[in-house]
Amino acid sequence: MVYTPDKPPLPVSIEELRATIPGWGADLDPKDRPSVPRERFDPGASGAHWDFPERQPEKWPRERSIEHASLTPVFGTSCPPKGLSGVIRKYAYRRYSEARAAHWLLLIAADRVDSVEASVTALLRGHPDNPVTETGILSEFSHHGLSSRFGRKRADVKHQWLDPIIVGGPQVLRGVVLYSVGKTAIRGVRGAQRALRASRPGPDSAGS
């Protein structure tokens, strides 16, 4: 069982491993280990002073890799899953093994979704992101940004043309989306106002 001081059994025998993997078990004999005799050879001693470590309280259902029989005794609590990004993270853990690329690609996608969610939340709270100050673009002009890129043999100069696209592209896309949504909303309001004025009876109809 995981997290116990007992060594888990091998899925196959030592003989099968030695026959299929060249060099497997080359250090099984203590005489072949460089640390001997300083190493105390005691296969029965695990060094653990517990039968099972004390569990951290689980205050909400935590994501767990399918390779683990149970939740790890200790886990992080600073970033609980939330929103759509949390749904994606939970799906990655429950559906795919950590050995699958889909597991990690979903987690990367969840990070991107989390970034968008944070930007939208900041906008709704009245504190939108400031790409000018938060990207550090002003330091390019105040801390010798341009001069430090030429004649210095910096490795990152080769991909610097991508930086404005990677950093500024999402900001431009976000602005285009907000502009389109705002424009559509304004058209809808104006159309509703025109329809309301057209539906009101005029002075002639009221007098007749």
| pLDDT the model gives residue 162 | 85
- Computed on alpha carbons and rounded to an integer, the radius of gyration of the chain in Å comes to 31
pLDDT recorded at residue 158: 80
CA distances from 129 to 81, 113, 166 (A): 22, 16, 16
Residue 134's pLDDT is 79
3-state helix, strand, coil in the chain (%, to 5): 50, 0, 50
Position 104 scores a pLDDT of 95
What pLDDT, on a 0 to 100 scale, did the predictor assign at position 114? Answer: 92
- What residues have CB less than 8 Å from 1, skipping those under 6 apart? 8, 69
Residue 39's pLDDT is what? 61
- Give the mean pLDDT per block of 10 residues along the chain (208 residues): 71 87 84 68 66 84 84 84 92 92 95 89 85 79 79 78 81 84 90 84 57
